[in-house]
Structure 1
């Protein structure tokens, strides 16, 4: 039977056990309430056949910018690179590249982009195309408002996240309105995934994200989401470096307490083979969501790993009004600011899909 809304789990929040469920709040009422900026750890070289553009956009997706840039530069999508996908309802600053071998960019390119709502902040040449995941981190500046911002528990909630880390959930935007991306992913995986049916891999990603969130929720429930367990695979903070462990000693416990290392869970795909505490959760997942698990393995996408916890870097909380605050922090690439927000406010975006509502389009 295909998934429907009644199957959608309520993934566990971390802070409910400590502070109770958060009060209602609002975020992203307007684009200015949600600002995100990509941070590179290198500088374009200033020469080469690829033009790198650091742009600011609002009210548009990254793919909208790709299409506008391709139209103006008369290039296909394969000649355009970007590191990360950024939200539409936000002010986002990100890098893109366009291959222009032996030619200058079209005259008036920046003006034409500006007329489409895309402001060019920097422009440099570089020898190589910008590839997915090249940026190191994202810097967020978020405005939150409502009763949750006025309650006394807000400050200790925020401090707990700063000191102990945040569950590294994929945000609700990964699953689309009413979870439709996941439903489409299940239907595609049931008949056999083909790239031509999922050109950007969005549906594969939705299915893998759903399964990862379910595993993370299970580890939060058993109290081991941030604590190494025997046979875990750990990730070194700030890197993608992985190492497997057999047993846990005091040194590893101490490193986890300093947020130096984090337990991981699989991003489902070909080659899944879990050990220890994660093995039982993975087996439950295979029984509960067989179409998603088996379909991902048949698709050929290789299993990879994602940290269960993320560290907030350079966190700040500034109060603008009794019921309004501005949060700023940096997160590793691929981590979602909505995972932070969901621990601080109750909002329909963070609730399960409405019971009885089919996930189909």
Structure 2
């Protein structure tokens, strides 16, 4: 299977400079719940820069004298950013933290809590981004695309972080799953195999984006021929208002979280999707997860493989909320902030703003 480049919905081209550096890129976690103020665990609000979450956890765990696995965290954060996140450790080590000092880490706050923080215990993340070399006409284009994003949302591709510096971690992941590569470290194995799952999801999403673009220009019958789908497989798709077209058998979830259900009344569910009440999901292949039906399955099965890993459903389309912008004309800086649900990448917003090439 060859790699497909992510496809984006707008046929535009914006030129700007974005540096993934602590000066121009900030990420802050939004906790899933309020911390109780009592309990056997200590939650730290930590600011870090120029280091991975693993490196930050190692620095703190080594200082207090515990194993990294005794600490909790909600999500992994970008190395090349200023990130603010929440971690936990047993409260009995609180005094040892008083002497902790690190040039790349600052503990902003401490609070007691009843439970260890677990992966995924997030509502979402708040991003602050500075785009540079944005001149007048580009500023107007960014304003226009940002308005579209606010109204419509963006595709929920996995970001480059999942695929490594060269973008081919998924190759080793597939070799591991095929038994053609042996790696002892469990976390490394899981990361690489997860990269292959992400690769399959991204390829599926690109195929569905391609279909949605075709339906903007061609009839349902013509799009069926171009996509090599049976006659009437796309019935009821072109008339849908939203960009990302739903298919019979798509698996939807209430947004931003909720139960999974299959599309049966296409027009009705398309209206609910357009109103941001629900959103379609894509398959992360593996065991213990539900597959789509009907016409949706015809495309999904192209990117489904048997593997001895747990699978999941992931939102294919997400909403970008709390959008704020500020243009500093004398510096040609375009400052932007927004919130995304957990597990989503700021690069999806930036690539739509940039007009990343389709294909």
Aligned positions of 1:181-260 closer than 5 A: 181-191=169-179, 196-199=184-187, 201-223=190-212, 226-250=244-268, 252-260=269-277
Structure 1: how far apart are the matches of 2:183 and 2:94?
31
Secondary structure in 2 matching 1:66: helix
Deviation of 1:315 after TM superposition, in Å, equals: 0.8
CA deviations 1:34-81 (Å, max 9, x no partner) are: 111111142222222211101000001100111112101211122111
CA contact (8 A) 2:283 2:311 kept: yes
Deviation of 1:331 after TM superposition, in Å, equals: 0.6
Superposition TM-score, scaled by structure 1 size: 0.83
Superposition TM-score, scaled by structure 2 size: 0.83
Structure-2 change in CA distance of 1:164 and 1:56 (3 Å): same
Decide which of 9, 14, 26 is 2:9's aligned counterpart.
Answer: 14
**Residue matched to 1:165:** 153
Decide which of 69, 73, 76 is 1:78's aligned counterpart.
Answer: 69
Larger RCO: Structure 1 or Structure 2 (Cα < 8 Å, ≥ 6 residues apart)?
Answer: 1
Structure 1: how far apart are the matches of 2:166 and 2:4?
13
For the aligned residue pairs, the C-alpha RMSD in angstroms reads 2.5
Structure 1: how far apart are the matches of 2:27 and 2:127?
4
Structure 2: how far apart are the matches of 1:264 and 1:148?
37
Secondary structure in 1 matching 2:353: coil
Structure 2: how far apart are the matches of 1:150 and 1:240?
41
Q: Say whether 1:140 aligns with 2:127.
A: yes
CA contact (8 A) 1:228 1:234 kept: no
**Count of residue pairs the alignment pairs up:** 326
Secondary structure in 2 matching 1:249: helix
Q: Say whether 1:304 aligns with 2:293.
A: no
Structure 1: how far apart are the matches of 2:183 and 2:263?
36
Deviation of 1:167 after TM superposition, in Å, equals: 0.6
Q: Say whether 1:39 aligns with 2:26.
A: no
Q: Say whether 1:63 aligns with 2:54.
A: yes
Structure-2 change in CA distance of 1:204 and 1:172 (3 Å): same
CA deviations 1:310-347 (Å, max 9, x no partner) are: 10111112112374211111110001011110111268
Structure 1: how far apart are the matches of 2:27 and 2:171?
29
**Residue matched to 1:341:** 350
